Structure 1
Amino acid sequence: LQKSKLLTFVFHNLDLVILMVLILPRRGSNVSLVLDMSALGSVEPLSVAVVTPREAAAREYLLAAGRPLTRPQLRDIVVNTHKLHAEFAEIPMNFIDPKELDVPNHGTKNRYKTILPNPHSRVILKSKSCNDLLSSYINANYIRGYLGNEKAFIATQGPMVNTVNDFWQMAWQEEAPVIVMITKLKEKNEKCVLYWPEKRGIYGRVEVLVNSIRECEHYTARSLTLKCGNQTRVLQHYWYTSWPDHKTPDSTMPLLQLMEDVETDRRTAAAMGPVIVHCSAGIGRTGCFIATTIGCRQLQLEGVVDVLSITCRLRADRGGMIQTGEQYEFVHHALSLYEARLSAETGQ
């Protein structure tokens, strides 16, 4: 009876339904349309997946929003923090509903229950059993790079005790040349477990050996050798420890230096896979690092940068990337400093 009432409403108000679809809120709008069916009582959901007007508007925004900044405009915008925060507030988070993940018990492998990998771009671990969905699950997403090249990065959460083996399996499977860690192990609460060995460790099928350690002011670089079966591979691990808890750093210079070291390693590495980046949840500081890397490349090659578009693309791949307005502002400051250095080098 309930379904019959719903279908009768839809059929007799088809023009209204079509009109609602045609006048979906445009990008940047805070207006959303809601069809209130509460008068019909609770009805069972139809088997066909329904995209709500709000979801459709969010998708459109993430696909289309952008604001390219010339070098002078970038210099001006960093002092207009109100405008930056207002712009950031308009960007849809694009978090997913847990029901969208068809992996039983996936919650046991998530550090935060609300931070989940978006299904279309999530990393799937190769499993011996195609029926064991949980063994193929890791809270990680492929992230597109500059010009949208696929799988330039992997954004993931900080490993947990029960996901360390999964993490190293992913690093091996994806042929990652570099791992970037932007969190302390503990900041009030546990943010990440110590997932690498002092000298040698075995994690599932992957053996990890520490070749050398280089201490810098703001981060520690380790050269690692990974072994699996009769194959070996070298990987660089960067542990950035100067990011304060619940704040952004006072200076963007250390992050830019880290980015340049990582890019140098990526270009010279034998492994051609994505750079793995993680903090604790894998969205805030991780998003800042990836957005800054992409933005610097865009500035270098095009002379403009579109942080809004970059952020939207990151969130299309993994919900919540660049978590706060302060982080959005920090990315702009990092890019402004990079632009100033480019201008000094080129005399522009």
Structure 2
Amino acid sequence: MTGAVTMCFLSLSLSLCPPRGTGCFLSSTSTWASSYPWRYGSGLWSSGTVSREVGDRRQSVSRQPSFTLSEWTDAQEDLLDLEPVPQTPVFDMGTDTRTEGDAATLTVTPVGLQERRGSNVSLTLDMCTPGCTEPYGYGAQLSPRDQSAQEYLRQGTHILTPAMLHTRAMDDQSLQAEFYETPMNFVDPKEYNYPGLVRKNRYKTILPNTHSRVILQSQDEEDFLTTYINANYLKGYDDEERAYIATQGPTVNTVGDFWRMVWQERCPIIVMITNLEEKNEKCAEYWPEDTVTHEGIEIAVVTVTQEDDYSLRVFTLKCGEEERSLRQYWYTSWPDQKTPDKAPPLLELVQEVERAREEAPPSSGPTIVHCSAGIGRTGCFIATSVLCKQLRTEGVVDILRTTCQLRLDRGGMIQTCEQYQFVHHVLSLYEKQLSHTAEE
């Protein structure tokens, strides 16, 4: 690159991690505000899929960064060092220099790179990979950029009529732009600076947003660890409070906490959307083959039914003199960070869970949904459930608004652009099913 001027197309929406190094070409803190008014994306981004995995390490949601502002800048030195297995994967935001002035031809090149410390431009986009020890924030007080991100999430909206939905579902470029513009809203790990907390989290920096986290009841309320579980309450359709609980897949250390939450919140349904292992462990097998007791709660398997794409377990829970019924839907046809091969089975599961929820006792609490980290597949399932209700009730859907609301309550919900596109495809299919049924 000696003697050449390389035009680098940089995404400077680094709401998750501050830039490292010096001389970084950052704009003012009005980055998010520059994308107002709240609307769908500008369509500047290519339809290529961004890299999701590097080696066997689990990619966090910020592998799909929130692009909100792009700049042209001259870089006269090598910005990045290539490494086959980077410790901190980053993106090379290169440009197609064949058309210097045409922003529509810009592409995002999926590569795994290692940032050179001390480089004059920091392109690190992910401080949320499990195993990463550096925090991505500088304290609890929101920066102007974070405040703008929060404002975006509170007001972002894009209502789609059925015709608009079908067209939008096929427009990968616009969906990518919209996805990238929407803040992830991750939690600064410094907000959870408690000794011993690391064993309570499956991934070190996938943490529950503080305002909506589930707090476990404990005899010692002063002991934070006894009240903590990596789980958040989420709103449902029409702002129904605490309609869902999104949580990580239980670990060996948190199985007891998980069952405490199930009992405390009077949850009638668990939706599990992960295999126990996918290259590595994604979730502990927290249920028994027959009977087991956790935290004074006796869990007994009543029936196991195997369907084409999921299994259904019915449990009896007993604590003291009280006894309850619990249903677990275990959906196994959805790979991590990706989407199912077919949409109809997911729609069928969403509708089956809705029917089971309607049949649950009136005193029942939220539906628990979890995958491994509790943000990707979990976010897709909850969003689909909420949006199906909106489509039936109002005849329109607002996928952007629902995504924003989910991320306000738990950062990173709907983890990848591919998943965001899939939600649109599922809703488009569901609308066609509704229209076909109406015609009959």
TM-score w.r.t. length of structure 2? 0.69
Partner residue of 2:367? 275
1:287 maps onto 2:287 in alignment:
no
Tell me the SS of whatever aligns to 2:173.
Answer: helix
| TM-fit CA distance, 1:347 | 2.1
- SS of the equivalent of 1:211 reads strand
Q: CA deviation at 1:31?
A: 5.0
Query: More helix by proportion, 1 or 2?
Result: 1
Partner of residue 166 from structure 1, selected from 257, 281, 285: 257
Aligned partner of residue 162 in structure 1, secondary structure: coil
* 1:71 equivalenced with 2:137 (yes/no): no
Aligned counterpart in structure 2 of residue 98 of structure 1, from 169, 189, 197: 189
Closer/same/farther in 2, CA of residues 20 and 294 from structure 1, 3 Å limit: closer
Name the CA shift for 1:122/1:49 in 2 (closer, same or farther; >3 Å).
Answer: closer
Q: Is the 8 A contact 1:93 1:315 kept in 2?
A: yes
1:224-247 per-position Cα deviation (integer Å, ceiling 9, x unaligned): 111111101101001001112442
Question: Is the partner of 1:171 in helix, strand or coil?
Answer: helix
The question of 1:227 aligning with 2:318 is answered yes
Which one-letter code corresponds to 1:30 in the other structure? T
Counterpart of 2:235 in structure 1 is: 144
Q: How many residue pairs align between the two structures?
A: 314
| Runs of 5+ consecutive residues of structure 2 not aligned to the other structure | 1-27, 39-66, 71-138
8 Å contact from structure 2 (residues 336, 377) kept in 1: no
Residue correspondence of structure 1 range 163-242 to structure 2 within 5 A = 163-242=254-333
1:30 lines up with 2:68 in the alignment: yes
Matched-pair contact (CA < 8 Å) for 1:283–1:319: yes
RCO higher in 1 or 2 (8 Å CA, sep ≥ 6)? 1
Alpha carbons of 1:256 and 1:201: their partners in 2 closer, same or farther (altered >3 Å)?
same
2:383 aligned with 1:345, yes or no? no
Alpha-carbon distance in 2 for matches of 1:246, 1:313: 21
Moved more, 303-312 or 97-106: 97-106
Note if 1:316 corresponds to 2:354.
no
What code does the residue aligned with 2:423 have?
A: V
CA distance in 2, matches of 1:105, 1:58: 31
Provide the C-alpha distance between the structure 2 equivalents of 1:20 and 1:217, rounded to a whole number of angstroms: 50
Distance 1:56 1:20 in 2: 10
Show CA shifts across 1:50-76 (max 9, x none).
321110110110000110000011111
- Separation in 1, partners of 2:317, 2:334: 28
Matching residue within 413, 422, 425 for 1:330: 422
Distance of 2:142 and 2:248 partners within structure 1:
28
Q: CA deviation at 1:251?
A: 0.8
Supply the distance in 2 between the matched residues of 1:314 and 1:61 (Cα, whole angstroms). 13
* 1:301-337 deviation per Cα after TM superposition (whole angstroms, max 9, x unaligned): 0000000000000000000000000000111111111
* SS of the residue 2:254 aligns to: helix
Out of 213, 222, 227, the residue aligned to residue 131 of structure 1 is 222
Cα pair 2:271 2:330 within 8 Å, conserved: yes
Q: Deviations over 1:244-300 (max 9, x none)?
A: 244211211111111111111111111420000000000000000000000000000
8 A contact 2:140–2:188 mirrored in 1: no
Tell me by how many angstroms 1:24 deviates: 5.2
In 1, Cα distance between equivalents of 2:263 and 2:148: 38
Structure 1 position 114 matched with structure 2 position 205: yes
Moved more, 268-277 or 154-163: 268-277
Query: Which stretches in structure 1 are left out of the alignment for 5+ residues?
Result: 1-18, 33-47
The 1:112–1:212 alpha-carbon spacing in structure 2 relative to 1, beyond 3 Å, is: same
Deviation at 1:104, TM superposition (A): 3.7
Q: Partner of 1:161: helix, strand, or coil?
A: coil
Mapped contact 1:125–1:170 kept (Cα < 8 A) = yes
Looking at structure 1, the residues matched to 432 and 164 of structure 2 have their Cα atoms a distance apart, in angstroms, of 12
8 Å Cα contact 1:223-1:235 kept in structure 2: yes
Contact 1:107–1:113 (CA under 8 A) maintained in structure 2: yes
* Residue 40 of structure 1: aligned partner: none
* Number of the residue aligned with 1:251: 342
